[in-house]
Amino acid sequence: ETGVTQSPTHLIKTRGQQVTLRCSSQSGHNTVSWYQQALGQGPQFIFQYYREEENGRGNFPPRFSGLQFPNYSSELNVNALELDDSALYLCASSPQGETQYFGPGTRLLVL
């Protein structure tokens, strides 16, 4: 176990809705990265938060947004959900610039 926790474990939404996913980082880790993993593929980088600021972003539209809190936990928000947003959403925590350790993920299904 990495000490990274995510909630909820599973979620079903309909197109157009909004979703918030949560991540608690491992103790001592000040950086949280979010990844989207479609079925049968490798994780794709969404963005990273370091000390409550976005610190790098992948090729995802603005309807994907996030927050990091003073305790380094983080949220991923997705607005106007589309069918293709169905995926496993992973967060990974790390000390800045060091190895990223992943949580178990949140499985999102958009109908």
Residue 2 interacting with another protein (CB under 8 A): yes
Tokens of 92: 């990974």
Q: How far is the CB of 16 from another protein (least distance, A)?
A: 28
Among 13, 45, 73, 75, binds another protein (CB under 8 A): 45
Question: Residue from 55, 65, 73, 86 that binds another protein (CB under 8 A)?
Answer: 55
- Residue 69 engages another protein in binding (rule: CB under 8 A): no
- In whole angstroms, the minimum distance from the beta carbon of 81 to another protein comes to 22
Q: How many CB atoms within 10 Å of residue 10? A: 10
- β-pair partners for 32: 49, 93
Query: Which CB sits closer to another protein, 18 or 97?
Result: 97
Cβ 65 to another protein shortest distance, Å: 16
The label of the residue with tokens 């794709």 reads 44
* 69 or 102: CB nearest another protein: 102
Specify the amino acid at residue 88: L
Residue 54: C-alpha distances to residues 16, 46, 48, 51, 85 (Å): 25, 11, 6, 8, 21
